[in-house]
Structure 1
Amino acid sequence: MSRSDDGQDLFGFKSVGELVARVAPKRPSRVTQRLIDASAEIALSPSEQITYQHTVLCQTGLPYRSPGDDVRLWERSNGRAYLRIEAGGAINPDKGGFVDLPLPFGPKARLILIHLNSEAIKTGSPEIEVEDSMTAFVKRLLRNDPNGREIRTFKDQLSALSVATIRLAVTDSQRAVQVNTQVVTAFDLWFPKNANQRILWPSTVRLSRDYFDSLARHAVPLDERAVAALAHSAMGLDVYTWLAQRLHRVPDGKPQFIPWPSLHEQFGQGYAELRFFRRAFLKVLKAVHTQYPAARFEADRKGMLLRNSAPPVAQRLVLVSKTGSGS
């Protein structure tokens, strides 16, 4: 049979090998497979591992990516919730003084906050044993042993969170409630002299009393399986926690409409044009819906319509002991 140079015969037919290659299913990426597996697990059984995020952090968010070492202040607001984070510094024993650390950013900073919140809620104490619990948490998220680079990235974000000053505020028509604090008030940081040395977690961190008390009143429960499935995406985690906090509060029979410009303002970091943000957001929203199948909403060219939905985790009474030292 006569063939052209590109492997196609002159009558327009492809070879058998090329046809098989076209119809054979592609192996899903690791991220896609993680979303598929978690979605199946969530559909079959309730969560045994519940994690928590502060309600203000469900409505606002950290930077998606590093804003640059020269950016020392980050502010976000959404409705009645306000967030302000100031980057901090830490003592470096080798240099004999304070060194500036960057603002926390990205999915790993969000995962660390969720982990610290969850340990505090579960133990009823602001003091958290980090070394063992964080390693176990990271292993559950990644579903394998983390490598040195992954551990280092988590370590860097934990350090940035530990020294940052955070201000959380919620307002209503009559008053404003504001917490000015550091999430973490006591910690130890280990600076290896050799960049190839094993990076160690701090043994413990202590949440500030103000943040701990605020968390006890405003913790939003999340399904850890969904958090793990979305661990690659800062926007995905933000959209999931936002829906977890928001949808069950929508009045039944009274859906709430959010136009695209408002969604862009809340989630559109890095997207100058609305059309590019809309495309990215819809892709993320589809992935989030696989992890929160009870979520009821519609999205069209005008915006997003939110309907009353069951929360991703059945509401449980959050009991936090007032024992433990914090400042």
Structure 2
Amino acid sequence: MANQEQQIIKHTYDTIVSQSESTQLLFQHAVLCQVYLPYRDPGKEVDSWVRQQGKAYFAIQATKVFNPQSERYDKLLGLPFGPKARLILTHINTLALLQRSPNLEVSDTITSFVKSLGLPNNGYQIDAIKNQLGRLAASMISIAFSPGENRSFQVDSKIIKGFDLWFPKNPNQRVLWDGNIVLSEDYFFSLMNHAVPLDKRHLAVFANNAMAIDIYTWLAQRLHRVSTQNSEFVHWVGLKEQFGEGYARMDHFKESFRSNLRLVLTQYSNAKIEEDLNKGFILKNSSPPIPPKTHQVLKIDKP
């Protein structure tokens, strides 16, 4: 294995965590807690998506996949979108951190996976999960973050490097994973150092709501980093740029954002965020959804 060293890392998943604790944890990449996938299907004619928020940058490009019927690379699945793509990523991220490997062993059925995400177990949900898995597997991403001081990191690769995209057409046939999912090493090593822990029970409440998931993950990675001495202020204009995909009018966006924020706060009750006279919101230092702990972990460096 690559060069390894013992380090104390805060808010990073540790395989020493007990099984009872780990079953309540999911993880998202820190950049994807600030910039997001589309809420809705952009359509097959849109094959790229670029977003920036502060010092976080994200781009995703749909690519053609091999069609075994035509024996050509001619099938464009489209960009991943919506709440299911977000939930799939958190599940895959968690497997990678738990197994500490980009080669994920997934001996489970699609049906069980749907249940683990807190979604109803029916044909519609299973088809939707398969569709989003295929879109994620067939997409190239670029993740970049600049923390300042002339430092930055960037990943240009696929998230899922290997996956069986073709499923049985017979609806009565038991649909199985192909045994493993292979993440790109660039994404895996980036995730190992930039994973944000989330409460699986909270995400289950937002399982059909992409904006609520995005607000929740944003607050999860943001609030605990706010200074204990000084609050931070975010304007409605900035919030609309970050969360307002598809909203032409500010009043419509405000109504939706407030409604989704109220939903998020029913779960993330420790979040200290207050609206300020219709100008925006005040953010105050808050403990993250997963109580802060410091774990002794084995950090894996890229070869």
Q: TM-score range by the shorter chain?
A: 0.7 to 0.9
More off after superposition, 195-204 vs 58-67:
195-204
Question: Normalising by structure 1, what TM-score?
Answer: 0.80
1:77 aligns with 2:63: no
Determine helix, strand or coil for the equivalent of 2:65.
Answer: strand
Using a 3 Å threshold, how does the CA distance of structure 1 residues 199 and 239 change in structure 2: closer, same or farther?
Answer: same
1:114 aligns with 2:114: no
What is the CA distance between 1:94 and its match in structure 2?
1.3
RMSD: 2.4
1:284 aligns with 2:260: yes
How high is the sequence identity, in percent, across the aligned residues?
47
**Greater relative contact order (Cα 8 A, min sep 6): structure 1 or 2?**
2
More off after superposition, 166-175 vs 60-69:
166-175
Identify the match of residue 286 of structure 2 among 309, 312, 316: 309
Residue identity opposite 1:311 in structure 2: P
- If each structure's strand is expressed as a fraction of its own residues, which one has the higher value? 2
Using a 3 Å threshold, how does the CA distance of structure 1 residues 129 and 47 change in structure 2: closer, same or farther?
Answer: closer
Using a 3 Å threshold, how does the CA distance of structure 1 residues 127 and 183 change in structure 2: closer, same or farther?
Answer: same
Identify the match of residue 243 of structure 2 among 267, 272, 279: 267
1:196-253 CA-to-partner distances (Å, cap 9, x unmatched) read 7654433311111111100000000000000111111000100000000000000002
8 A contact 1:47–1:223 mirrored in 2: no
Using a 3 Å threshold, how does the CA distance of structure 1 residues 224 and 191 change in structure 2: closer, same or farther?
Answer: closer
Moved over 3 A (4+): 45-48, 133-137, 191-202, 316-323
8 A contact 1:60–1:82 mirrored in 2: yes
Aligned match of 1:13: none
8 A contact 2:25–2:200 mirrored in 1: yes
Aligned match of 1:21: none
Which of 1 and 2 has greater Rg?
1
Give the 5 Å matches for 1:1-327.
Answer: 48-98=23-73, 99-132=75-108, 135-142=111-118, 146-171=121-146, 172-193=148-169, 199-300=175-276, 301-316=278-293, 317=295, 319=297, 322=300
Determine helix, strand or coil for the equivalent of 1:314.
Answer: coil
Aligned match of 1:25: none
What is the CA distance between 1:177 and its match in structure 2?
1.6
Separation (CA, whole Å) in 2 of partners of 1:206 and 1:49 = 24
Determine helix, strand or coil for the equivalent of 1:66.
Answer: coil
What is the CA distance between 1:91 and its match in structure 2?
1.2
8 A contact 2:192–2:300 mirrored in 1: no
More off after superposition, 197-206 vs 99-108:
197-206
Residue identity opposite 1:116 in structure 2: I
8 A contact 1:47–1:313 mirrored in 2: no
8 A contact 2:109–2:176 mirrored in 1: no
8 A contact 2:38–2:81 mirrored in 1: yes
8 A contact 1:168–1:178 mirrored in 2: yes
What is the CA distance between 1:319 and its match in structure 2?
3.8
What is the CA distance between 1:143 and its match in structure 2?
6.3
Give the paired residue count: 280
Residue identity opposite 1:141 in structure 2: L
Using a 3 Å threshold, how does the CA distance of structure 1 residues 108 and 192 change in structure 2: closer, same or farther?
Answer: same
8 A contact 2:231–2:285 mirrored in 1: yes
Q: Which runs of 5+ in 2 are unaligned?
A: 1-19
Separation (CA, whole Å) in 2 of partners of 1:203 and 1:280 = 40
What is the CA distance between 1:85 and its match in structure 2?
0.3
Question: Normalising by structure 2, what TM-score?
Answer: 0.86
1:17-50 CA-to-partner distances (Å, cap 9, x unmatched) read xxxxxxxxxxxxxxxxxxxxxxxxxxxx988511
